[in-house]
Amino acid sequence: MNNKLTSLYDLAHKDCLFSVSAYYAQNFTFFEMAFHTHTSFEIMYVAKGICNIFYILKGQEYQTCLKPGEWIFIDSHTTHKLIVDPSAPCRMLNLEVELLETTASAASVTSILKTSSSILHFLEHKEPIIVCRDLSESDKIQEALHTIHLYAENKKDYHSSLLGDHLLVDLEILKLLTLIAHKYKTQNDNLIGLHYIKKAKSYIDEHFDNPLSIKEITAYVGISSSYLQRLFSKQLGMSIIDYIIKKRIDKAIMLLKHTNASIIDISIESGFNSRQHFTHTFKKAMEISPHAFRNMKDNYQILLPHNNELNS
């Protein structure tokens, strides 16, 4: 008899076999279960509608709402429950997999997993709950779940045979875990990137009206200038310099509109090193000179650039 691993993350240091313990593809018009745990790790994928997942971590209850194309990974022995409200029925694909410890290394899936850097990164973090709302690879997750369901359904002796006979199922589960690990890493990388951008923007917002260099900004953020440049380009669609110029132009617009300060004073107050540089930059951004802009009075709004993408 094989011992059951207590967590998917035990794969990092134990050899095991997969065993599908439950699976379904089902339409729910209403469903409510009690909090429970089990020895399997579980994946719930919402194909249509809405469902609510409740789970308990370190004594605290959490809730997440899943919409079409979104999924949740729940590690073994994690307390959770599913609720489907009658006002918002859903169709869900579910898979529960036990991990059975084995000494038959040739048949172990662990040795295969350990060749994947994304899997190893995933196993290191031991997250009991992972929620994915990125729909870019949603179809691949759904396809893998459907395939596992099909193999398990058509293999009459699946549960009575654990060596060799269900290689196709094991490979699909490996594929599914690889997709989850990749998505987990991508989500983490995005969160880290957003943290760096937020930190850089905060520093720029406080210092843009003084001489400011990219070297100074990246030293404050604590990453390389090339990495920060890539993050700005990917997340904001502009360079660091473009963002600094935008902040300076925005301040100049405010001063031109609400004060009688001279153009030279406004250029200095906005962080430009000369009136000529200010005039050139302002005209390039606004297609009008600072002096002409001031004389437009209430018509200035029609020329303002779009700022919404930088407000997050």
> Which residue(s) pair with 65 in the sheet?
52
Tell me the fold of 8-190.
Jelly Rolls (2.60.120)
Write out pLDDT tens, residues 18-36.
889 999 999 999 999 999 9
Q: What is the mean pLDDT of residues 190-200?
A: 84
Mention the CATH class of domain 208-312.
mainly alpha
pLDDT at site 42: 96
pLDDT higher than threshold 60 for residue 305: no
Burial class (CB in 10 A: 0-12, 13-18, 19+), 26: exposed
Q: What is the DSSP string of 103-118?
A: S-GGG-SHHHHTT-HH
Return d(Cα 14, Cα 222) in angstroms, integer.
37
Strands 129-132 and 51-57: unpaired
Return d(Cα 199, Cα 203) in angstroms, integer.
6
pLDDT at site 304: 38
User: 106 or 173, which is more confident?
Assistant: 173
pLDDT higher than threshold 80 for residue 62: yes
User: 98 or 152, which is more confident?
Assistant: 98
Q: Where do you find CATH 1.10.10.60 in the chain?
A: 208-312
Write out pLDDT tens, residues 248-288.
999 999 999 888 899 999 999 999 989 999 999 999 988 88
> Which residue(s) pair with 173 in the sheet?
none
Q: What is the mean pLDDT of residues 96-101?
A: 90
pLDDT higher than threshold 50 for residue 147: yes
The neighbour count for residue 21, using CB atoms within 10 Å, is 17
pLDDT higher than threshold 70 for residue 56: yes
Q: Where do you find CATH 2.60.120.280 in the chain?
A: 8-190
Return d(Cα 113, Cα 8) in angstroms, integer.
12
Q: Output the CA torsion sign for 7, 8, 13, 17.
A: positive
157-178 core/surface letters (b: 16 or more CB in 10 A; e: else):
ebeeebeeebeebbbbbbbbbb
pLDDT at site 263: 92
The residue among 18, 23, 181 whose CA lies nearest residue 96 is 23
pLDDT at site 75: 96
Return d(Cα 262, Cα 272) in angstroms, integer.
14
What predicted TM-score, i.e. pTM, was given to this entire model? 0.65
Return d(Cα 305, Cα 284) in angstroms, integer.
12
Q: What is the mean pLDDT of residues 223-238?
A: 87
Strands 51-57 and 16-28: unpaired
> Which residue(s) pair with 4 in the sheet?
100
The pLDDT-based confidence of 128 (bands split at 50, 70, 90) is very high
Tokens in use for 68? Answer: 């079409």
**3-class secondary structure, 169:** helix
